[in-house]
A and B are shown apart, each in its own frame.
Chain A
Amino acid sequence: MRVLLTAFGAGLMVLAAGIGLSLANPETGGNALKPVSAFSEITDESERSAAIFTEAGKVIQHPRCLNCHPAGNRPTQGEDRHPHIPLVLRGAGGFGEVGMQCPTCHQRANVDLAGVPGHPLWHLAPIEMAWQGKSLGEICVQIKDPERNGGMSLEDLIHHMSEDSLVGWGWNPGKGRSPAPGTQEQFGALIKAWVETGAACPDL
């Protein structure tokens, strides 16, 4: 494994969040996702859609995801979502402020010996995508809104949730950190089904 850190020069490296140092409960209970088929009995499509999104919400509101979608400028970390220690701030583009940018600590992959998570594009979600402190219904509305989802169409959203490797980190968070429920594939399937059923949202 020999990788060129071209991103350094290009300034693509991004701010770290969710340095999940908590060593407790690496495998939490109830860590499965219901398949789309589990919702087929809900006849009302809109209700079914909202129910599917609620299931997907187990991922969206998991610490692995929420930690990097803070409402303020400081990410959280750990299962208890405490403020990131040491202090790191959003900085320009969510890549961290000078001197404490993501790759100062977060490498291209998880470093399990040190317990430091990593990804080549580790960074903080933009402030308009802040999820912390919001209900799942509010997040749902937000996720559909191109003004607040990075300009993505619903189709783009399916691809993003199913295929993006930084999203995928949530299921491969490294030793000592609980992964998001299910798999990225299952999560992607839920998002796809949610879109296909009209992308209805749970109550606010």
Chain B
Amino acid sequence: MSIRVRDDTQSANLSRRGFLRASVAAGGGLLIAFSLPSRLVDARETIEAESFSPDGFIRIDPYGRVTVIVPQVEMGQGTFTSCPMLIAEELEVALSEIQTEQAPPDGALYSNSLIGSQVTGGSTSIRAFYEPLRKAGATAREMLIAAAATTWSVEPSSCRAESGNVIHEPSGRKLGYGALAEKAAMVPVPEEVALKEPSAFKLIGTPAKRLDTPDKVNGKTIYGIDAKVPGMKIATLAICPVFGGKLKGVDASKALQIKNVLQVVQTADTVAVVATNMGAAKKGLAALEIEWDAGPNAKLTTSDIVADMAKASEADGVLVRHEGDVPKALEDASQTLEAIYEVPFLAHTTMEPLNCTVHVREEGCDIWVGTQVIGRAQAVAAELTGLPPEKVVVHNHMLGGGFGRRLEVDFIAKAVEIAKQVDGPVKLIWSREEDIQHDLYRPSFYDRLHAGLDSDGMPVAWSHRICGSSVIARWASPAFKDGYDFDTVDGALEMPYAIPNVRLQYVRHEPPGIPTGFWRSVGPSHNIFVVESFIDECAAAANKDPLEYRRALLAKAPRALAVLELAAEKAGWGEKLPERSGRGIAVQNVFASFMAQVAEVEVSKSGEANVKRVTCAVDCGVVINPNTIEAQVQSAIVYGLSAALFDEITLKDGRVEQSNFHDYRALHMNEMPSIDIHIVKSDEAPGGMGEPGTSALVPAVFNAVYAATGVRLRRPPLKADHLKV
């Protein structure tokens, strides 16, 4: 089984509408394809049928080899297995027989319907492609059956598909997909195909082996940073350390004397050293004498930013949700609670540092990169080179982590700007320091919460005012409407609890100069922490068990209630724990998946929190690959733990203070809790799984710390100073 990340040229003819097509291969070969990648389409006689989009996912060659063109990128989340599984299920081929190929930039064919463009992010891959990919598989299957039926002059209904063959049941005749491919390509594309009932699934729901991993254990997989282009040079960069600052001047004389250093390149806010290897480039960079013009943010500190947000959050924001009469309910309440919650800026730190290889020529531009947004990559290069987009060829690669960082094209733009000044191809690699200090950060937020409890201690009024940056306003500006966007309030808007009077407001406040971006679990990374911490405060104020309290509020949210109860049961909720140990719980409904987590935390007398165990129950609807779901939950929990325990990006004099993994930590093996994951069987539509584990983890840990110590902390990360005895 091998995986090939598509690395060929894309034809200029990309604007063609997405059609379900069957085609005959050039040179008399046999082939059936649904909307072939356009490069191939041009070379083939095509039979275009009714519009059916998105498609373009399957190619079967004369030998019966099935290639799935995967519309979403692989950054660890398993799309290169789950997407083929959806096709294989309906096409009736073994998953192990499938080869995968990364889709080229073609928004018409490969657009993610939940995002509206060719983007991988937001835990949408399965949600967006669950139906289209199964339909593509089923359509191909029906056409192969029709081709076989014609060959044998029998009724299609007397034939069935199995393991890459069509079988005529009464006669026992059998033809492989390869042998049928050419004929199948001539079969009219059926307008309607029946999809399997979930009860008939043979592959979906089983722990299928991943297709992308064999070459990831022997060093063969080529990530963007591994791209090899003949004549390629290697560069590394320094960007003005102050956001919004510029490059004033640079003395490159010493750097240019270093062996294997070739060139020093400048752009408005960046200087790059070009060499034959990264070691020499780094050495050259260290030898530069650089003068920066720090610009307007030269004095910026984290405390200024927080103070500005605190002030901005005093005024009413855009009313996002309002039910009942919150002011009156607060007035009538037996007890009221107020709290301020904050979250810090966070960096992504994908294991593969940012990089991009570019070859700019007069007539065209090639880009070798790992990106979540292949179309945007093409567009930004076209804009910067002045070339038409079709002259920009993007070779996408496996991604060494994304987490939202590779939804941005800043590092592609930087590479193009530098490559324009370099003769031949150049690979730009960011140091980890630049990667951390010039990220687009998970925004910092400053939220005001206000709750009113009735005489039983149950919440009758809930007011939540969010204040902070809108990533959507920059990244997808049309989706920023009426002063707010769906992402910034996600998790707060549809909290599952039944509270009669609810008010949610959003105050957009952009920090000066600091770029913000999507980060794993996106809006909920902030909102679930706030909501699940504050509801815990309400329970404490009511002297009620946090589990019972939530349970009482979830009577009308059965899926949320079910995961809550399952996680609590499996975690041994209520069982006695040693002193300064506690359990915390959190429940959520985000990314169309329901999840609850219970964290068990022990806090030492010196205030160090040790997360010993995390129990998670998840209902993500139909399960495609339980192995991947478990992996994604483990992954998201670890990502959340780093944020809960260690991480924040802070600024001093306009500069990010953190620089590498010693001061922007990632959880290590020796800091791992045990993790138990329980998947609820469900026939609901599939939900997202990449993100949810992160947002649920942080409040579960903070609530556990409260249970262990009685100290309510309202701003991650945990600080030992606040918890020591």
Contact = CB atoms under 8 A, between A and B. Distances in A.
A123 to B, nearest CB: 21
B662 A87 contact: no
Interface residues of A, number: 7
Nearest to B663: A21
B668 interface: yes
Given A21-B662, A85-B662, A85-B665, A113 B670 contact: no
B282 interface: yes
Interface string B649-690: 000000000011111010010100000000000000000000
Contacts of A113: 282-283, 286
Interface in B347-381: none
B668 A87 contact: yes
B69 to A, nearest CB: 41
A19 B661 CA distance: 13
Interface in A100-146: 113
A86 B283 contact: no
A86 B668 contact: yes
B698 to A, nearest CB: 21
Interface string A62-99: 00000000000000000000000111000000000000
Contacts of A23: 659
Interface in A1-40: 19, 21, 23
B245 to A, nearest CB: 20
Contacts of A85: 661-662, 665
A29 B570 CA distance: 57
Nearest to A19: B662
Contacts, number: 14
A19 B670 CA distance: 19
Interface residues of B, number: 11
A19 B663 CA distance: 13
B381 to A, nearest CB: 31
A73 to B, nearest CB: 13
B554 to A, nearest CB: 40
Contacts of B282: 113
Nearest to B670: A87
Nearest to B671: A87
A86 B662 CA distance: 8
Q: Name, among B660, B662, B663, B668, the residue most crowded by chain A CB atoms within 10 Å (CB to CB).
A: B662
A23 B657 CA distance: 10
Contacts of B660: 21
B674 to A, nearest CB: 18
A87 B282 CA distance: 27
Interface string B273-316: 00000000011001000000000000000000000000000000
Nearest to A23: B659
A138 to B, nearest CB: 22
Contacts of B665: 85
A85 B661 CA distance: 9
A179 B659 CA distance: 22
A143 B275 CA distance: 51
B509 to A, nearest CB: 31
Nearest to A84: B662
Contacts of A19: 662
Contacts of B663: 21
A23 B662 CA distance: 11
Contacts of B283: 113
A87 B286 CA distance: 29
A92 B313 CA distance: 57
B664 to A, nearest CB: 11
A23 B670 CA distance: 26
Contacts of A87: 668, 670
Nearest to A78: B662
A86 B670 CA distance: 9
B596 to A, nearest CB: 31
Contacts of B661: 85
Nearest to B279: A113
Nearest to B286: A113
Contacts of B659: 23
A113 B278 CA distance: 12
Nearest to A77: B662
Contacts of B286: 113
A85 B658 CA distance: 15
B539 to A, nearest CB: 35
A23 B660 CA distance: 12
Nearest to A24: B657
A91 to B, nearest CB: 14
A132 to B, nearest CB: 15
Interface of B: 282-283, 286, 659-663, 665, 668, 670
Closest 9 CB pairs of A and B: A21-B662, A87-B670, A85-B662, A86-B668, A113-B286, A113-B282, A87-B668, A113-B283, A85-B665
Given A21-B663, A86-B668, A113-B286, 11 more contacts: A19-B662, A21-B660, A21-B662, A23-B659, A85-B661, A85-B662, A85-B665, A87-B668, A87-B670, A113-B282, A113-B283
14 contacts: A19-B662, A21-B660, A21-B662, A21-B663, A23-B659, A85-B661, A85-B662, A85-B665, A86-B668, A87-B668, A87-B670, A113-B282, A113-B283, A113-B286
